Amino acid sequence: MRNFILSCGLLLLISLSLAGCAPAPAVIYQGATPLQTGIAASSGGIIVSQQSLGLWVDGLGKTTGTPDVVLLTLGVESQAKTVAEAQKPAADAMNSVIQVLKSNGIPDKDVQTSQFNIQQVTRWDDKQSTYIVDGYKVTNTVTCKIRDIAKAGPIIDAAAAAGGDLTRVNGIGFTVEDPTPYYKIAREKAVQYAMEKAKQISQVSGVRPGKVLYISEGANYAPVVRENYAMKFSAMDAAAPAPTPISAGELEFQVTVQIVYEIN
């Protein structure tokens, strides 16, 4: 009897161990978790998100517009043996550049300091196996909005003359003051394109789209047509071209949408 009880106990322990090692039913989440979507389990132990059901289509809408604002980044750069010696000419040159901007009708709110930097200028010395400080470089840069594109070239030329050899023009870009009308046109085109795509898919596949379950607008942006360059001007260079030619070109505005239809 004792051996029989021991044998039964051993069989019970083996059965429980095998049950604990058995693999759990496969669970597949598509999209969000069960708590996020309210999901029903199928008889096969596979859980399918309701978020994966329906007819999903996306659309891209585009339109173009003419820039009406120039974004000009310019400044000064000075180098000397000491920080103080480098700072003074940089400050004088920047004050002259700012005065040019003001004299051309650019208000203070449209001029913003984008960079101010003081750094050591070093070189490697092989004999001492170390870096030697040769001096210090001061960089002061502003970004300004020019709302009359025709003035951009003359302003660049005047700023170059005012700052002399210390002048640096780091980049120029273009934008529009109010992009809302362009985004509205692009958005309408994106929605129309998505609806036409859904119609074509339903015709080809034979499914019948029902009510709209979900609409999402993706990131929209206005790519800035930008021409990055660095320029150094010499006050002695009387042959420098004037005025500097500026071409604004066009901006492209894009909107993407995603629409989900119920399938009947």
Per the CB < 8 A criterion, the answer to whether 72 and 156 are in contact is: yes
Mean pLDDT along residues 191-201? 96
Please give the structure tokens belonging to residue 11: 């069989």
Higher pLDDT among residues 236 and 114, named by residue: 114
Q: In the CATH scheme, what architecture does the domain 69-176 have?
A: 2-Layer Sandwich (3.30)
Share of the chain above pLDDT 90, in %: 61
Compute φ and ψ for 135, nearest 5 degrees: 165, -160
pLDDT over threshold 60, residue 16? no
CA–CA separation, 164 and 97 (whole Å): 10
Q: What is the pLDDT of residues 34-69, one digit of tens each?
A: 333 333 433 344 444 455 678 999 999 999 999 999
pLDDT over threshold 80, residue 33? no
- pLDDT on residue 219: 67
Characterize the bridge pairing of strands 111-125 and 167-175: unpaired
Q: Which of 56, 95, 90 is nearest to 76 (CA)?
A: 90
Mean pLDDT along residues 145-154? 94
Mean pLDDT along residues 153-176? 94
Higher pLDDT among residues 244 and 84, named by residue: 84
pLDDT over threshold 90, residue 215? yes
pLDDT over threshold 90, residue 30? no
pLDDT over threshold 60, residue 229? no
pLDDT over threshold 80, residue 166? yes
Q: What is the pLDDT of residues 98-130, one digit of tens each?
A: 999 999 999 999 999 999 999 999 999 888 888
DSSP string, the chain: -HHHHHHHHHHHHHHHHHHHHSPPPP----SS-HHHH--EEPTTS-EE-GGG-SEEEEEEEEEEE---EEEEEEEEEEEESSHHHHHHHHHHHHHHHHHHHHHTT--GGGEEEEEEEEEEEEEEETTTTEEEEEEEEEEEEEEEEES-GGGHHHHHHHHHHHHGGGEEEEEEEEE-S--HHHHHHHHHHHHHHHHHHHHHHHHHH---EEEEEEEEE---B-----B----B--TT-TT--SSPP-----EEEEEEEEEEEEE-
CA–CA separation, 203 and 32 (whole Å): 30
User: 216 falls in which pLDDT band (50, 70, 90)?
Assistant: very high
Has this prediction a pTM greater than 0.75?
A: no
Give me the chain's average pLDDT, please. 80
Please give the structure tokens belonging to residue 253: 């505005």
Per the DSSP assignment, residues forming a β-bridge with 76 are 140, 167
- pLDDT on residue 240: 52
Q: Which of 71, 5, 58, 43 is nearest to 227 (CA)?
A: 71
Instruction: Please name the residue that has the structure tokens 């529009």.
Output: 176
Mean pLDDT along residues 194-218? 93
Outline which parts of the chain fall under CATH 3.30.70.2970. 69-176
User: 228 falls in which pLDDT band (50, 70, 90)?
Assistant: very low
